[in-house]
A and B are shown apart, each in its own frame.
Chain A
């Protein structure tokens, strides 16, 4: 399923490009640096680490086949494709998510009755945050998730292919938008 999702989000081939000299080692370096971050970002977004790893692996798999490509937009491309795939998964999996949450609540109820209510509320909060994230612009979602992962502004700029000087503005805008959509959707503040 992840494969289908990614396929629909892959950008035109000329947009992405690997360096000239040694595409394999370049790919290796990009993978080493960004794979864990992408998995962490997607796991936050989707609440499902195994699925996050699946999608991240798929993105890199697609990337590895694009041997003739180059450029600084490479990481931005990877994050964009990964985020879009993750958002698609969030939207299309809402039914499965509900079922899993019910299962989670049931398991918790059986295992630890004391913390069950708290855990259920937490799960509900997470579901709400993810639902709102899925309605933001992909770039805003990326910014919020990666910032939550602890990336500095410099790293965010390099990763997303934007000016470091505009991160503050974009972040402030994304946070305002997140709160506004949360309130519009759930009628209460975050």
Chain B
């Protein structure tokens, strides 16, 4: 009987890292040596199991990607939303959110109870059904926050989750199917 094969060479054969000549000799040996055949099978199975463990590591799910600071766009959007809320503090009564809204400091939230401004406010509408799920705007965890319904230009509405620092963290559009219902 030919000589038994080392573990390292058996492992290399799994990855087709032996020469053609070596593979041929190994094949001949395996036919006559059940011990080596069993070892090869064991090594092959283990290599496959371990490789499967690493498949998942290849893709980093989006939600686990490193923290990224919110862009300035969102800081401004947060300020604008806070300003809009300060203008329309009651229920689903909403004020138009103008892109040119000046940035307001986060303390504007505390002033939400102030008397409503002279600015025209939309007619009260039947609340629209919202999409079921929120879309996260970044990958950071949301610890505390509150939901605001805001009006966007063009008559669209959206629910926005704003965290304690005034940053918008998640958004969902209000279902447009119900548009026009009163």
Residue of A48, A108, A175 near B66 (CB, 8 A) is: A48
Secondary structure at the A interface, as helix, strand, loop or mixed, is helix
Is B11 among interface residues, defined by CB-CB distance under 8 A? yes
B56 and A126 contacting across the interface, CB-CB below 8 Å:
yes
Is A176 on the interface with B (CB-CB < 8 A)? yes
- Nearest chain A residue, comparing its CB with the CB of B141: A103
On chain A, the residues within 8 Å of B141 by CB distance are 99-100, 102-103, 106
Count of chain B residues with a beta carbon within 8 Å of a chain A beta carbon: 39
In the bound complex, CA of A185 to CA of B139 (Å): 30
Among A20-28, A61-69, A162-170, which stretch is in contact with chain B? A162-170
- Looking at the complex, which of B2-10, B24-32, B91-99 is the stretch in contact with chain A? B2-10
Instruction: State A43–B8 Cα separation when bound (angstroms).
Output: 28
CA distance A165 to B136 in the complex (A): 50
A110-B133 CB under 8 A given contacts A129-B56, A179-B49: yes
CA distance A190 to B51 in the complex (A): 10
Q: Is A37 an interface residue (CB 8 A)?
A: no
Interface pick from A9-17, A75-83, A144-152: A144-152
The stretch from B57-65, B101-109, B118-126 touching chain A is B57-65
State the A residues within 8 Å of B (CB). Answer: 43-45, 47-51, 99-108, 110-113, 119, 122-123, 125-126, 129-130, 144-145, 148, 152-153, 165-172, 175-176, 178-179, 189-190
CB pairs A–B below 8 angstroms (13 shown): A47-B64, A100-B64, A100-B67, A100-B139, A104-B63, A110-B136, A123-B61, A145-B54, A153-B15, A165-B8, A166-B8, A172-B10, A175-B11
Beyond known contacts A103-B141, A111-B135: 17 more, CB 8 A cutoff = A48-B65, A100-B64, A100-B67, A100-B141, A103-B63, A103-B142, A104-B61, A104-B64, A104-B139, A110-B133, A119-B61, A129-B53, A152-B17, A167-B8, A167-B17, A168-B15, A190-B50
